[in-house]
Chain A
Amino acid sequence: MIQDLQHELKLSPSRDESARQEFVSSLRGYILVDMASSMKDRYEKEVKPLYRREYGQDPVDGPAVHNAMKSDLYFRFYSSIRYNAQEMVWQSVVPVVERDLDDLIGQARKLRDGQNKVKGSIHLNSKVEIPNNVSKIDVHLAPGSYHTEYTEDDVATGTIYDNGLNIFASNMMGRNLSDIGDSMSNYIRLKYPDFKPQKILDCGCTIGHNTAPWAKTFPDAEVHAIDVSAPLLRYANARAQAQKTPIHFTQMNATALDFEDESFDIVFSSMFLHELPLKDIHAYMKEAYRVLRPGGLMLNMELPPNNEMQPYDSFYLDWDSYYNEEPYYKCFRDQSYAELCVKAGFETENFVQIVTPQYGYVDETVFERAIGSNGPIDDRVGRLTEGIQWFGFGAWK
């Protein structure tokens, strides 16, 4: 059962529209859990042995596994069905958004200008250019990508993202779609109890679903969030106001932060770097270094690097790079994450890499124990499946 969104900016799907969304959600779950498992089984039992017979060794990396799998019928069906399911997620949401858009824009305006204003803000800047990695492709096959605006004060893109993600996640990303932020922020809180961040920045925040946890975990901190997309930010602000979470949203490109040197204690991002070309990743990290105070932390939740994964698991995660309109994904995951940080100015010995269980799905004691062990990167790290673990990396300044 698709969970309800945890705020009042709700859509009103008809009975049949809800049934359609439920179907797509179940289909996604089936693909990511059942079919993924079958496919791995098939690889181990048929594809890999055949490959070994022909080449005298197992496939050495993700691309080699991909080549071996491309002609396999099960892989073809898995891929085609998964690609279709991705399109179907958006298609089950867009018509409902189109119908309710005027109301939602009205609600967002009211929340923006309203009396019960929570200490937050929104600053848009039309001079901010939309970078090619957003404007030239429909990322994740979402019609209109992140940035398209259809009318004044538009929030369509944000609404589509929130509702689409809710279906896409099949209840695996947290009650408020915030498990990534919940896990990362609580990890920092528990592992570094003497660290009391006063100012936190979330880069590439989209609808702010993983920004809110930082405000919740560190209620004394001032939380800022930036994105290049105005319709996403308008929606994010309305969403945060509706949930009474104080966040300051600004339209800004993370590669050129309009903040003072040494003005933040944490610079965070989630599922952001893999959508950037490498030169922008370098630029963002340099900016993160610049705006961090000494003793501050840059932390990026992401998918694990290919060089620390088994060839099959690497291939499995690389799928999105080839087939989900995420062309920068593989290039990022082929990097040495430590080297990325060092290139930005951080010291090698201050590099951190973390693996956390899902904060919202396990007991706090289990979570605390996991912090101590800093688990290995197995096939549940970064992969949307039951018992998923989140991966993050960064550095202290």
Chain B
Amino acid sequence: MTPRAKRPSFFEESAVDQILSMMLEMMTELWVVKERVYTLEKVLDQEGIDARDKIEAFTFSDDEITELESARRKFIASILRTLETNFVDHAQLQEQVDELTDVMKKEIY
């Protein structure tokens, strides 16, 4: 289904083009879910269940709150996880640089 065409790169870093494509796909998927939820609420309305009001008024139990908070934190962490793995410990790096410098100085002098 990929068209025979050389995909243009509009940004200096071609990864940016790729990420933008992914973002547009994500936007589409999110919209599809939103439209489905909307439809779901309407279907429930038709069945005599006032979905919107019931959703607004719904209160979570303590167990459900705990479950949601945990799921929410996991969701945020999973999207931002690479920030953690790519994080550079500058203090450690500086220690390593100092060590190397000492070694080099010994070898030169």
Q: Which residues of A contact B (CB under 8 A)?
A: 15-16, 19-20, 22-24, 27, 75-77, 79-81, 83-85, 87-88, 90-91, 94, 137-138, 141-143, 145, 322-323, 325
**B101 interfacial contact with A, CB 8 Å:** no
Question: B residues near A, CB below 8 A?
Answer: 1-5, 7-8, 10-11, 17, 20-21, 24, 27-28, 31-32, 35-36, 39
- Which B residues lie within 8 Å of A325 (CB)? 3, 5
The 8 Å CB contact of B5, one of A20, A76, A80, A138, is: A138
| CB < 8 Å neighbour of B3 from A20, A80, A142, A323 | A142
* Subset of 23 A-B contacts with CB under 8 Å: A15-B35, A16-B32, A16-B36, A23-B28, A75-B10, A77-B10, A77-B20, A79-B10, A80-B10, A80-B17, A80-B20, A80-B21, A83-B8, A84-B21, A84-B24, A87-B3, A90-B3, A91-B1, A137-B4, A138-B5, A141-B5, A142-B3, A325-B5
Nearest 8 pairs between A and B by C-beta?
A138-B3, A19-B35, A141-B3, A76-B10, A23-B31, A80-B10, A19-B32, A138-B4
Q: Within 8 Å CB of B36, what residues of A?
A: 15-16, 19
For A88, the chain B residues whose CB sits under 8 A away are 24, 28
CB pair B3–A143 under 8 Å, yes or no, is yes
Asked whether, in the complex, the Cβ of A143 is within 8 Å of the Cβ of B2, the reply is yes
Which listed residue (B3, B10, B11, B27) contacts A23, Cβ 8 A?
B27
A168 to B17, CA, bound (A): 22
Q: How far is the CA of A19 from the CA of B32 in the complex (A)?
A: 5
Majority secondary structure of chain B interface residues (helix, strand, loop or mixed): helix
Query: What A residues does B5 contact at CB under 8 A?
Result: 137-138, 141, 325
Complex-state Cα separation, A137 to B28, whole angstroms: 27
Check A323 against B11 for contact (C-beta < 8 Å).
Answer: no
Q: How far is the CA of A85 from the CA of B23 in the complex (A)?
A: 12
CB A34 to nearest CB in B, in angstroms, measures 15
Smallest CB separation, A111 vs chain B (Å): 28
Within the complex, the shortest CB–CB distance from B26 to chain A, in Å, comes to 11
Q: A16-B36, A20-B32 are in contact. Are A76 and B1 (CB under 8 A)?
A: no
| A108–chain B nearest beta-carbon distance, Å | 22
Complex CA distance for A15 and B31, rounded to whole angstroms: 12
> Which of B3, B4, B20 has the most chain A CB atoms inside 10 A of its CB?
B3
Q: Is the CB of A80 within 8 A of B1?
A: no
- Shortest distance between the CB of A185 and any CB in chain B (Å): 33
Contacts of B20 in A (CB 8 A): 77, 80-81, 84
Q: Complex formed: what's the CA distance from A85 to B1 in Å?
A: 15
Instruction: State how many angstroms separate the Cβ of A114 from the closest Cβ of chain B.
Output: 33
Residue of B nearest to A95 (CB): B1
How far does the alpha carbon of A88 sit from the alpha carbon of B11 in the complex, in Å? Answer: 20
Residues of A within 8 A of B2 (CB): 143
Contact A81 B24 (CB under 8 A): yes
Contact B28 A143 (CB under 8 A): no
Docked Cα-Cα span, A330 to B76, in Å, equals 47
- Given that A138-B3, A141-B3 are contacting pairs, would A323 and B32 also be in contact in the complex, using a CB cutoff of 8 Å? no
Closest chain A CB from B34 CB (angstroms): 8
**A residues near B3, Cβ cutoff 8 Å:** 87, 90, 138, 141-143, 325
Q: A19 near B10 (CB under 8 angstroms)?
A: no
In angstroms, how far is the closest chain A Cβ from the Cβ of B106? 50
CB <8 Å contact, A23 and B32: yes
Residue of A nearest to B35 (CB): A19
B35 → chain A, closest Cβ, in Å?
Answer: 4
Picked from B7, B27, B39, the residue with its CB within 8 Å of the CB of A15 is B39
Question: Smallest distance from the beta carbon of A290 to chain B beta carbons, Å?
Answer: 35
Bound-state Cα–Cα, A20 to B4, Å: 23
Other A-B pairs, 15, CB within 8 Å; known A20-B28, A22-B35: A16-B36, A19-B31, A20-B32, A23-B32, A75-B10, A76-B11, A77-B10, A80-B10, A84-B21, A84-B24, A85-B24, A138-B3, A141-B3, A143-B3, A325-B5
